[in-house]
């Protein structure tokens, strides 16, 4: 497999819908170009439709480092432990360089809830294999990550049918 010469660092952040979806779209594009993708989901433990992608897509691996959604309450110690273990797994994968693209989905939410520190993430990114492309998603991206990113996209919510009571729909939001 042909490797990229330099891996760039992307951030998809903001309050609008589409951060994970954008990372999944880039992942599919990369897979169709013969690249290998690792998708680590922080804070998430529910079985979203994308967790089935490994059944359909070659060169795609996805792991979740969360239990259930605690966003409306404080994380418990088990949530912190799972996130820290996930960070260790992702650190090792980033250093090995066996994947062309590594997505760290909702990593900024894990930072926001103090499941681990920005310093730990910065060190992990600094020590990554230089040809690995990294995508970090989630609301509330800290300025320290934005400053070192090569590409930052902010998703801005203008209007969302959730405000009219429409729940997450399978295959669209979940």
CATH at 61 = 3.40.50.300
Burial level of 143, CB count in 10 A (0-12/13-18/19+)? Answer: exposed
pLDDT of 166 strictly over 90: no
Task: Work out the mean pLDDT of the chain and round it to a whole number.
Answer: 92
Note whether 148 and 8 are within 8 A (CB): no
Residue 111, in any domain of the structure: yes
pLDDT tens across 51-101, in order?
Answer: 888 899 999 999 999 987 666 678 889 999 999 999 999 999 999 999 999
Our count of domains for the chain comes to 1
Residue 107, in any domain of the structure: yes
Residue 125, in any domain of the structure: yes
Residue 30, in any domain of the structure: yes
Q: How much is the pLDDT for 2?
A: 47
Q: How much is the pLDDT for 69?
A: 65
Q: How much is the pLDDT for 1?
A: 45
Question: Which regions of the chain does DSSP assign to beta strands (E)?
Answer: 9-13, 37-42, 60-65, 101-105, 133-137, 151-154
Residue 3, in any domain of the structure: no
Q: Determine if the pTM surpasses 0.75.
A: yes
């Amino acid at each position: 497999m042909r490797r990229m010469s330099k891996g760039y660092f992307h951030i998809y952040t903001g309050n609008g819908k589409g951060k994970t979806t954008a990372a999944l779209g880039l992942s599919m594009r990369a897979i169709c170009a013969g690249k290998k993708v690792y998708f680590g989901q922080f804070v998430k433990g529910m079985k979203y439709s994308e967790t089935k992608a490994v059944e359909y897509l070659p060169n795609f691996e996805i792991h979740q480092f969360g239990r259930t959604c605690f966003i409306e309450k404080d994380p418990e110690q088990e949530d912190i432990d799972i996130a820290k273990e996930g960070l260790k797994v992702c650190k090792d994968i980033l250093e090995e360089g066996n994947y062309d693209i590594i997505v760290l989905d909702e990593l900024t939410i894990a930072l926001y809830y103090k499941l681990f520190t920005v310093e730990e993430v910065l060190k992990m990114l600094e020590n990554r294999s230089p040809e690995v492309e990294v995508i970090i998603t989630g609301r509330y991206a800290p300025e320290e990550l934005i400053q070192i990113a090569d590409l930052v996209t902010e998703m801005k919510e203008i209007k969302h049918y959730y405000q009219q009571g429409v729940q997450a729909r399978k295959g669209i939001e979940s």
